[in-house]
Each structure stands twice: as structure tokens, then as C-alpha cells.
């Protein structure tokens, strides 16, 4: 994901920036995905397990410690790192997900503590608004990154599917749809683990894992 153009003949993991990034040395050198992916996985696993019913009553406050202190903060740092090394595509993706996780934490805390002073009848609509806006953003991200290897497209598409399922579950008060959304969250967390193995392998001198050819090559 460090770039938006794959070579036509290249291997599944051989992806380069459209515009060559400046060479960075010193403390800022390296791959921001080495940090961004693990913290993304942590937040996704925490949310997925909560939605799937691991915590009795599925209180959405249960995963907030991980989502706020690890995922939201970690992705913000990874975004700054990506900007520093000139990886604009990576910075965009991590920045978008940092916004999602931090706004999710703000939503849950705000609703639980009545910070927004909403009437009870507006709480469900507020959650629907949140999910709808982020569904639109993630769909946009999915379409905008079709030049990335297909593993990344699949990840973003699964995030969009999870948001849709949770939105439908919220609108219809269906615990089944919400739990299914949680399962999808765990699936894209598992895909994140696969992507991290490739990043870790490359960072330690090995070969990346196969990521698949981009769906859009022009």
C-alpha cells in the first residue's frame, strides 16, 4: 500500500509510488505500515469481538481503551510518519482510519455521558448518521484505491460491508445483523494480520506476501 501503481508484469507485492518519494534517512526512515497495521488490527479485533457478543450486552464502551489509546493514537502517529517520508497514499488511508476510530470513541463517550444533549429519540438516528457518513467515506476510499493490490481493495470493501451490516442492524434493531457485522470486522482484522506479515517480512530482509494484482491498471 506504500504506492498507488503496480507494474504491469510485476509480482503481486511489487508496488511503487507514482511519484518517487524523497529519500529519507535517520529516525523517520522506514515503513509507516509497520506501526499502522498492528494498531489497526488491535482496534478492529476489539470492536469485532464486542459486536459479536464477547462482552455481555455488547456495550460499545468495552473496546474504547484499545480504540482510543492504541488505534486512534497509533494511526495518528503512523499518518504523520507517512507524511514525513512522502507516502501520500498511505497517509491518506491511515489518516482516514484515524478519523474513524477517534470519532467512534467520541460518539460512544458522548452518547454514554450525554455530552451532546440529545433527546432519547435521536440517539439511534445519531448512530445511523455516524455509520452512514463513514460508509460513504470508506466506499469512496475503496473506489479511489483500485490501483492498489487487490488485498487492500478487499480490506476496504470488507470495512464498508461491516459498516453496512451494523447500520442495518442499528436501523432494524437486529442483533443478528450487528453480530454478523462483528464477524466481518474480525475477517478484515485477519486480513490485516496477513498484510502485516508481508510488511514485517520485508522490514526484516525477507520477501513480502502475495497481495494480488490491482483491479484497475490504467
Percent of the chain with pLDDT over 90: 80
pLDDT at 59: 75
φ and ψ at residue 170, rounded to 5 degrees: -70, -45
Q: How far is CA 39 from CA 33, 93, 95, 110, 173, in A?
A: 10, 14, 13, 23, 30
Asked if residue 160 has pLDDT above 50, the reply is yes
Q: Decide: helix, strand or coil at residue 6.
A: strand
Question: If you search the block for the grid coordinates 512522502, which residue do you land on?
Answer: 86
Rounded Cα distance, 49 and 60, in Å:
11
Q: How confident is the model at residue 205 (pLDDT cuts 50, 70, 90)?
A: very high
Highest mean pLDDT out of 50-54, 73-77, 115-119, 202-206: 73-77
Region 190-216: what's the mean pLDDT?
95
Check if the beta carbon of residue 208 is closer than 8 Å to that of residue 202: yes
pLDDT at 19: 36
Tens-digit pLDDT profile for residues 112-138: 999 999 999 999 999 999 999 999 999
- Bigger pLDDT: 60 or 161? 161
Asked if residue 29 has pLDDT above 80, the reply is no
Q: Decide: helix, strand or coil at residue 56.
A: coil
Structural domain spans, the chain: 30-203
pLDDT at 23: 52
Check if the beta carbon of residue 209 is closer than 8 Å to that of residue 197: yes
Mean pLDDT across the chain: 88
pLDDT at 27: 55
- Find the range with the poorest average confidence among 18-32, 92-106, 190-204: 18-32
Region 74-80: what's the mean pLDDT?
98
| Cβ-based burial of 46 (10 A; exposed 0-12, middle 13-18, buried ≥19) | buried
Q: Is the dihedral of CA 208, 209, 211, 217 positive or negative?
A: positive
Beta bridge partners of 109: none
Region 19-33: what's the mean pLDDT?
63
Amino acid at each position: 500500500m506504500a504506492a498507488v501503481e503496480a507494474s504491469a508484469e510485476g509480482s503481486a507485492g511489487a508496488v511503487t509510488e507514482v511519484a518517487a518519494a524523497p529519500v529519507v534517512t535517520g529516525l523517520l526512515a522506514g515503513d509507516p505500515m509497520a506501526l499502522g497495521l498492528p494498531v489497526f488490527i488491535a482496534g478492529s479485533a476489539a470492536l469485532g469481538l464486542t459486536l459479536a457478543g464477547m462482552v455481555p450486552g455488547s456495550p460499545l464502551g468495552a473496546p474504547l481503551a484499545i480504540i482510543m489509546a492504541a488505534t486512534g493514537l497509533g494511526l495518528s502517529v503512523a499518518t504523520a510518519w507517512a507524511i514525513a517520508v512522502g507516502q501520500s497514499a498511505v497517509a491518506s488511508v491511515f489518516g482516514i482510519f484515524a478519523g474513524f476510530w477517534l470519532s467512534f470513541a467520541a460518539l460512544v463517550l458522548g452518547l454514554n455521558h450525554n455530552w451532546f444533549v440529545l433527546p432519547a429519540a435521536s440517539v439511534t438516528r445519531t448512530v445511523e448518521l455516524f455509520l452512514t457518513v463513514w460508509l460513504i467515506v470508506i466506499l469512496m476510499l475503496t473506489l479511489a484505491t483500485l490501483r492498489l493490490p487487490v488485498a487492500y481493495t478487499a480490506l476496504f470493501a470488507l470495512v464498508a460491508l461491516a459498516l453496512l451490516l451494523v447500520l442495518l442492524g442499528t436501523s432494524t434493531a437486529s442483533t443478528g445483523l450487528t453480530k454478523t457485522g462483528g464477524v466481518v470486522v474480525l475477517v478484515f482484522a485477519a486480513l490485516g494480520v496477513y498484510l502485516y506479515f508481508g510488511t514485517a517480512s520485508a522490514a526484516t530482509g525477507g520477501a513480502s506476501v502475495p497481495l494480488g494484482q490491482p483491479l484497475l491498471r490504467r
